[in-house]
Structure 1
């Protein structure tokens, strides 16, 4: 892909919120139409255009498509309910802001953007007709940061009027993608030797959970990860874990060792008396069948507690 050489908007296109650019593609010279393309997508398609996700524009091969596109727009009404308020294209201040933010991201990278701006970029794809800046800021405040937004349950996200089902799926998919990326370094390596990466993964996966839940990492004889499973979910300050169920699942997976993990939504990872007693029971139960408990990690707000390091096991 080579750089675009932008031309002035074609006749009649600017009044519809569209801009025309002469570009060079791998197939040769072409024209790209950008701007308020979503509501004119039927006309763009009718005029012979094709959508380019990489350019975020509609491409037209051959001669300047301005005339036939203008005719197509007159023949095909814009999508209902999406017309701008009086004043035409540009009456909404955030239209130009979106393009500028995208360009700044591409030119200077993510480091130059604040958290709310990165979230804005993500929202652009599924919230096209709302000012995403105040929406992004309100989401960060409501859910306590980027991690909290991604970790929020679909039910809580659905409470936000501006977020439709597509946005909810998008945010949850981003959370799953993020967790899988963090899990990659420990998937095929000895978990014990990848302890820092393991803690990073657990922190990201569990710190924003509103209730306690208990997960267990089942390991083979080489301390490679067999399975990472959530065993139980509880309340804001308690989750039950039954030693018999842990033993049963470890035997089913032919595990040689486990690492116990749970979160404290309060943010304080200090083990409670109940945590210590429950850990003792699990260690004893697994010891009977020759399975080792390497550690019990409690995840809190920006920190964790290790039973092994605290000499509690």
Structure 2
């Protein structure tokens, strides 16, 4: 008659050990392959070969690591129009787009600040009259989605090269006061011979307070 020890050995024998079930292979999300392909296209062909939404996708890859960013990129462009306008949009309006949370919106603004710094560096020292489209695009990127009226002045030297780009006044949602005396004073301080005035709501007239007439 078998002992208790024999019974235990029999229980744990090969006849009672079941092989472990093979784990089912985990399928990678479809967007991972898309990300790899898009990165390869960017590396091989450069940024000019990609439309705005794909450049925005590349940026969002880093900001949204575990989701399909193509619909988010297209939604941002549908809402704001261009890549420059997406980066120029306020945080609160970015967050209104599905898929964009506070952290991603703030990261986009960091990218925007970097792009604006680069744009200033590219414009500085150039003859602005020969790159007028670039100036307009730059102003649009930094001013288009400001929620308050903003009056910006670009001061030029005698060769029409940029000396400084400054916000002279910030007003309310529909009104910006302009003080010509301050504009002229600042132009003299910088030894500017010409200025470019930019306003982010051209459909609303800029007001000139009484007693501050423009002079040449």
Note whether the superposition's TM-score is higher than 0.5. Answer: yes
The offset of 1:112, in angstroms, is 4.2
C-alpha displacement of 1:256: 4.2
Query: Which sections of structure 1, spanning at least 5 residues, go unmatched?
Result: 1-86, 288-313
For residue 58 of structure 2, what is the aligned residue in structure 1?
121
The answer as to whether partners of 1:218 and 1:255 remain within 8 angstroms in 2 is yes
Post-superposition offset of 1:244: 3.3
Whose helix fraction is larger, Structure 1's or Structure 2's? Answer: 2
Contact 2:125 2:163 in 1 (8 A): no
After superposition, what is the alpha-carbon deviation per residue over 1:176-216, rounded to whole angstroms, capped at 9, x for unaligned?
A: 34334444453123445554543443344334445431101
TM-score (norm 1): 0.50
Q: CA deviation at 1:88?
A: 5.8
Distance of aligned partners of 1:143 and 1:198 in 2 relative to their CA distance in 1, 3 Å threshold: closer
CA contact (8 A) 2:148 2:172 kept: yes
Name the counterpart of 2:163.
Answer: 226
Give the whole-Å Cα distance in 2 for the aligned partners of 1:190 and 1:134: 39
Question: In the superposition, relative to structure 1, how do residues 165 and 140 fare at CA in structure 2: closer, same or farther (>3 Å)?
Answer: same
> Does the Cα contact within 8 Å between 1:218 and 1:228 map onto a contact in 2?
yes
Quick one: distance in 1 between partners of 2:77 and 2:136? Answer: 24
Aligned to 1:138: 75
- Cα deviation, 1:254-302, whole Å, max 9, x if unaligned, reads 44443222122xxxx57x7x44967xx5531xx3xxxxxxxxxxxxxxx
Residue aligning to 2:111: 174
Say if 1:90 and 1:96, in contact at 8 Å, map to a contact too: no
The answer as to whether partners of 1:185 and 1:197 remain within 8 angstroms in 2 is no
- Give RMSD over aligned pairs: 3.4
Q: Which residue of 140, 144, 147 corresponds with 2:84?
A: 147
Contact 1:130 1:162 in 2 (8 A): no
Quote the residue 1:9 is aligned against.
none
Rounded Cα–Cα distance in structure 1 between residues aligned with 2:130 and 2:49: 34
Question: Where does residue 283 of structure 1 map in the other structure?
Answer: 214
Figure out how many residues of one structure are paired with residues of the other and give that number: 193
Inter-partner Cα distance in structure 2 for 1:135 and 1:119? 9
Kindly name which structure, 1 or 2, has the bigger radius of gyration based on alpha carbons: 2
1:241 aligns with 2:188: no
1:289-300 correspondence to structure 2 within 5 Å: none
Shift of 1:109: 3.6
Which structure would you say has the larger RCO, counting Cα contacts within 8 Å and 6 or more residues apart? 2
Report the Cα offset of residue 237 of structure 1.
4.1
- Assess, with a 3 A threshold, how the Cα gap between structure 1 residues 244 and 136 changes in structure 2: closer, same or farther: same
Q: State whether residues 169 and 178 of structure 2, in contact with CA within 8 Å, keep that contact through their aligned partners in structure 1.
A: yes
- The aligned counterpart of 1:94 is 31
Provide the TM-score with structure 2 as the length reference: 0.68
Report if aligned partners of 1:182, 1:197 keep a CA contact under 8 Å in 2.
no
Shift of 1:128: 0.6
Alpha-carbon distance in structure 1 between the residues aligned to 2:194 and 2:94: 37
